[in-house]
């Protein structure tokens, strides 16, 4: 009995303590449930008030007012500045509207610009284009200052003075009716937005581009052999034209073009480039001169690559070097490759064959193809041609460039006499006017470089002779 009494008392105290704990927990649970119900109640009330407030703001917006601005203050402000309400409402729509990823087709004349890419303190095509997009309201001020905010990318980065019949940029922008006309209203006449198409969200015009084609408009006297006078009235014949086409055909395929650009080593993988086609068109006359259009298509091109490819063919066609210099330029040795003037070069168009095959036929996206704007592109290309021809006739850029070929060493074995003749001819070309440049470039430019000394039918006339005793080989 004495032993059981403490156990009984402990059991009673334990049961009492247990009931107190359960009662306390029950009270806390009830309070939590009440607070939850009260929170839900207030939340529903706030939602109702928010909906009512939103409907009120929408009703005000339909009357031309701006959400979040008191009507009386807005009316007073509108009396001072009548266009203020429109401008503020436009900015509000730009900030809140959902932007779409597009491919924007742009045509431009590169004369007077330092290339396509935007650089601080430099006059570029992208700078004018982005400012026009911002003034139109297609992009925000933040996107104007930070291009990565709108995922901006250009398909081809043209060099200084190079034009484009059509180039493509991809970006996120606000779409609305007549957006192309509004963009062009803020651009100079030499830059035109041709059109745009909606693309996928991850579309990148530089990565999605499968090929690019360029054109080079050149006077035909640039291909005149050494026994022909280099002058404006030169007219190319079928034999010379066929030989020029044969020289351009050598570029087709995959080769190492490290000698056709700068700061690229022969072992660098980026030196490998694939040329799909290189054609020489039929000659045509304009303003008393004969011109020809060269068209090249490849996967991608390096800095100055096309201009050096054209320049090297002109060197061979004129007789300054043998044809094997083209193959030597793909080897490991350093080869002096002259760079043709930038005036005649223009980007014809980019191609997106892989992207169009994958997404253009799915029924949800459009093909990124310039064919829909072909008429506008061809009209603008004619303006580029007219600008190039007019500038060439006025400035003689190709004629002066041909005079600088005497500075180059295409064989690596110049003598003291040849160096002196090169310097003398160059000084004469720089000192004389346009009327005497043709005479200075007659036989001297072919004689000063002893390229054909290994052949039996080499050019053997001296720098002072007016005629050549023998003609160079055409093989």
Q: Distance (Å, rounded) from C-alpha 380 to C-alpha 346?
A: 12
For residue 265, CA distances in Å to 51, 257, 303, 392, 473 come to 67, 9, 14, 34, 33
C-alpha span between 25 and 19 (Å, rounded):
10
For residues 195 and 373, the answer to whether their CB atoms sit within 8 Å is yes
Say how far apart CA 333 and CA 340 lie, in whole Å.
21
Q: Is 307 helix (H, G, I), strand (E, B) or coil?
A: helix
Residue 280: name the closest of 237, 309, 249 by CA. Answer: 249
Q: Which helix (H) or strand (E) holds 12?
A: helix 4-62
Token pair belonging to 453:
């000394």
Length of the chain: 475
List the structure tokens of 346: 């223009």
Task: Give the strand pairing for 163-173 and 345-351.
Answer: parallel
Alpha-carbon distance of 355 to 361, in angstroms, equals: 10
Residues whose CB falls within 8 Å of the CB of residue 50, separated by 6 or more in sequence, listed in order? none
The rounded distance, in Å, linking the Cα atoms of 58 and 72 is 17
Distance, in Å, from the CA atom of 218 to the CA atom of 314, rounded to the nearest integer, reads: 10
Strand ranges in 383-437 using DSSP code E only, listed in sequence order: none
Residue 140 Cα to chain centre, angstroms: 22
Burial of 317 per CB tally in 10 Å (0-12, 13-18, 19+): buried
Rounded Cα–Cα distance for residues 463 and 417 (Å)? 10
SS3 content of the chain, % helix, strand, coil (to 5): 50, 15, 35
Q: Which of 58, 83, 145, 159 does the annotation list as catalytic?
A: 159
348 is catalytic: no
Q: Which residues are designated catalytic?
A: 159
């Amino acid at each position: 009995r004495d032993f059981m009494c403490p156990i009984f008392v402990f059991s009673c105290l334990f049961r009492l303590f247990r009931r107190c704990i359960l009662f306390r927990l029950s009270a806390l649970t009830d309070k939590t449930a009440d607070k939850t119900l009260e929170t839900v109640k207030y939340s529903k009330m706030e939602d109702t008030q928010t909906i009512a407030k939103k409907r009120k703001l929408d009703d005000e917006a339909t009357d031309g007012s701006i959400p979040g601005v008191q009507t009386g203050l807005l009316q007073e402000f509108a009396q001072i500045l009548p266009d203020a309400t429109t401008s503020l409402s436009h900015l509000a729509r730009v900030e809140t509207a959902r932007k779409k990823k597009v491919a924007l087709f742009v045509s431009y004349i590169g004369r007077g610009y330092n290339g396509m890419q935007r650089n601080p303190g430099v006059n570029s095509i992208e700078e004018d284009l982005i400012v026009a997009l911002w003034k139109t309201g297609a992009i925000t001020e933040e996107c104007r200052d930070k291009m990565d905010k709108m995922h901006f990318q250009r398909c081809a980065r043209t060099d200084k003075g190079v034009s484009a019949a059509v180039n493509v940029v991809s970006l996120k922008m606000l779409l609305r009716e007549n957006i192309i006309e509004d963009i062009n209203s803020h651009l100079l006449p030499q830059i035109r937005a041709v059109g745009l198409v909606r693309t996928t969200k991850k579309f990148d015009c530089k990565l999605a581009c499968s090929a690019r084609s360029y054109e080079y408009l050149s006077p035909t006297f640039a291909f005149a052999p050494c026994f022909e006078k280099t002058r404006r009235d030169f007219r190319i014949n079928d034999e010379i034209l066929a030989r020029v086409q044969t020289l351009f055909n050598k570029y087709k395929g995959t080769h190492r073009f490290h000698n056709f650009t700068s700061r690229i080593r022969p072992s660098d993988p980026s030196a490998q480039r694939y040329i799909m086609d290189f054609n020489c068109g039929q000659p045509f006359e304009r303003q008393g001169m004969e011109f020809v259009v060269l068209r090249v298509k490849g996967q991608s091109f390096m800095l100055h690559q096309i201009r050096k490819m054209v320049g090297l063919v002109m060197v061979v066609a004129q007789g300054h070097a043998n044809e094997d210099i083209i193959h030597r330029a793909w080897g490991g040795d350093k080869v002096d490759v002259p760079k043709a003037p930038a005036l005649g070069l223009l980007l014809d168009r980019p191609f997106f064959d892989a992207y169009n095959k994958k997404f253009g036929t799915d029924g949800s996206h459009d093909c990124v193809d310039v064919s829909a704007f072909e008429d506008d592109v061809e009209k603008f290309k004619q303006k580029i041609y007219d600008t190039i021809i007019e500038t060439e006739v006025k400035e003689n850029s190709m004629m002066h460039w041909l005079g600088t070929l005497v500075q180059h060493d295409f064989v690596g074995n110049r003598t003291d006499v040849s160096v002196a003749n090169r310097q003398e001819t160059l000084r004469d070309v720089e000192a004389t006017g346009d009327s005497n440049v043709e005479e200075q470039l007659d036989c001297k430019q072919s004689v000063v470089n002893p390229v054909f000394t290994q052949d039996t039918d080499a050019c053997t006339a001296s720098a002072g002779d007016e005629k050549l005793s023998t003609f160079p080989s055409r093989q």
